[in-house]
A = this chain, B = another copy of it.
Amino acid sequence: MVAETRERILEAADLLFYQRGFEATSFADIAGSVGISRGNFYHHFKTKDDILDGVINRRLTNTEQMLDRWEVTGADPAERIRSFIHILIVNGEKIRKFGCPVGTLSSELAKLNHAAQSDAAGLFTLFRSWLCRQFERLGFGEGSDELAMHVLGRSQGVATLANAFDDDGFLHREVDLMCVWLDDQIAQLGTS
């Protein structure tokens, strides 16, 4: 089944791009990881950029599904935002080892001047829009997008430093701070 092999390739490439980076991952690495030949590989993806597109689209789909799930499971918008903040802890081990999958890919592609950089930034946009919607539901109106970007930025910074210093305590402290910040924002909303 072509779809299965394609998916196995994308899964392996996704992981390797995250753990080693796009540039540092070769065709042979991915093929070896999947256990297929380079020739078979080429039948599914003509160029390295094709794999990158596939991986980004795969991540976009998976992220969308995750956000949709949170939309259902989260009791209220504030709780949903807290779910987002807590990915930092849920994925803490990976983040300390490899950083944030979204941020590090976006940074690398920006440096490579790669055409797919804007597609990778689309992953950020997915989170940004979702967070914005949650803030809107909480009643923040026009300021919602700026709050969404603020949360996104804070998360990125925490991921970068937790990775650089391999510091789990910092990660937890900053997650707590972000939750306090969120409560403050909601409290201030009531007093205006």
Contacts and interface: CB of A to CB of B under 8 A. Distances in A.
Given A150-B174, A155-B157, A124 B165 contact: yes
Copies of the protein in its oligomer: 2
Interface of A: 19-21, 23-24, 97-99, 103-104, 106-108, 110-112, 120-121, 124, 146, 149-150, 152-158, 160-161, 163-165, 170, 173-174, 177
Contacts of A19: 111
Contacts of A107: 99, 103-104, 107, 160, 163-164
Contacts of A155: 157
Contacts of A20: 111-112
Given A24-B23, A108-B108, A153 B158 contact: yes
A152 B104 CA distance: 17
Contact of A160 (B111, B120, B160): B160
A152 to B, nearest CB: 6
A106 B160 contact: yes
A24 B111 contact: yes
Contact of A161 (B111, B149, B173, B177): B149
A31 to B, nearest CB: 20
A150 B173 CA distance: 9
B173 A146 contact: yes
A28 to B, nearest CB: 16
Contacts of A21: 23, 108, 111-112
Contacts of A158: 153, 157
Given A150-B174, A170-B149, A177-B150, A163 B23 contact: no
Contacts of A173: 146
A134 B150 CA distance: 25
Nearest to A149: B170
Nearest to A170: B149
A164 B154 CA distance: 14
